[in-house]
Amino acid sequence: MTSKPFHDLSKAYRMELAHAYTTDLKVWDLPVRIMHWILAIAIGVCWWTGANHQLEYHFYSGYVILWTVLMRLYWGLVGSSTARFSNFVRGPKAIVNYASALHRRDTPPSHGHNALGAIAIIIMLGLVLTVVILGLFSVDVDGFYSGALSSYVTFEQGRHLAHLHQKWLDVLLWVIALHIAAVFFYFIYKQQNLVGPMLSGKRPGDGGEAEMKIAPLSRFAIGGVIAAALVWAVSNGFYF
């Protein structure tokens, strides 16, 4: 073995090393991958329909986002090992250590989220939930398309919350842009493809890493039904 950075090695040696990394290592389970891409698509739809006054579809995509974020929070507590907050949210020391080695190209890929990515994920999930909740309480100028919970606030409060809904959406979009830029940074600078594993669930491993623990899909289905019932209740303003 050599201690040279990966990109300084000869092409032949890099290929030899790449062949040594032949085992498929499972890093993301199906629920995490499905929730990620639902979230990415639904946020795109919600943003487009909001900007183009297609408010009926804006509401539907908002409910999809609410269900997905609730499910991601639930899966962060009871899901597979790499999905659990207790496994990827790390303390300040681990974050500083990780950040100080960010410029190095020879660091091995993380098993699940890295210490910095974990912060971005918590911020993104928190912002998405904030924007959805603000939207639910928002009051439209003419009252035709107000949020499902807007009857619990006054007209002035609802208008103020509608402004905050817009403002926090802008913040969320910047964080998402940063998230996508980080994925490109890993691909171009560190030569680590993070998108492939978010699609297939696997990345190449050297055979020595511990396998992730996969939670049963039935647990996801039970949570999914409860979350759907909650979103349905919210969409009716809790009036039955």
Which residues are near ligand HEM by CB under 6 A?
32, 35-36, 39-40, 43, 72, 83, 113, 117, 121, 124-125, 176, 179-180, 183, 194-195, 198
Specify the residue, 9 or 116, whose C-beta has the smaller distance to ligand HEM: 116
Cross-strand bridge partners of residue 202: 26
Nearer to ligand HEM, 66 or 176 (CB): 176
Give 189's DSSP letter.
T
Q: Taking the complex as a whole, how short is the minimal distance between the CB of residue 34 and ligand HEM, in angstroms?
A: 10
From the list 176, 180, 60, the residue with the least C-alpha distance to 127 is 176
Least distance (Å) between residue 81 CB and ligand HEM: 12
Residues contacting residue 63 through CB under 8 Å, at least 6 positions apart: 231, 234, 235
Q: How far apart are CA 157 and CA 92, in angstroms?
A: 38
CA distance 59 to 91: 37
**Residue in the structure block whose two tokens are 């396998």:** 211
Q: Which is nearer to ligand HEM, 32 or 231 (CB)?
A: 32
Q: How far is CA 36 from the centre of its chain?
A: 5
- How many residues appear in the chain? 240
CB of 108 to ligand HEM, least distance (A): 13
Residue 203 main-chain phi, psi, to 5 deg: -135, 160
Choice between 66 and 139, CB closer to ligand HEM:
66
In the complex, least distance from residue 235 CB atom to ligand HEM, rounded to whole angstroms: 21
Minimum separation from the CB atom of position 226 to ligand HEM (A): 19
Q: Which of 16, 27, 15 is nearest to 214 (CA)?
A: 27
The distance of closest approach from Cβ of residue 182 to ligand HEM in the complex, given in angstroms and rounded to an integer, is 8
Structure tokens at 118: 């974990």
Find the shortest distance in angstroms from Cβ 236 to ligand HEM.
Answer: 26
Looking at the Cβ atoms of 121 and 136, the one nearer to ligand HEM is 121
Nearer to ligand HEM, 72 or 165 (CB): 72
Which tokens is 116 given? Answer: 């910095």
Identify the burial level of 220 via C-beta atoms within 10 angstroms of its C-beta, where 0-12 means exposed, 13-18 middle and 19 or more buried.
buried
Query: Considering beta carbons, is residue 180 or 229 the nearer one to ligand HEM?
Result: 180
In what helix (H) or strand (E) does residue 209 lie, and over which residues does it extend? none
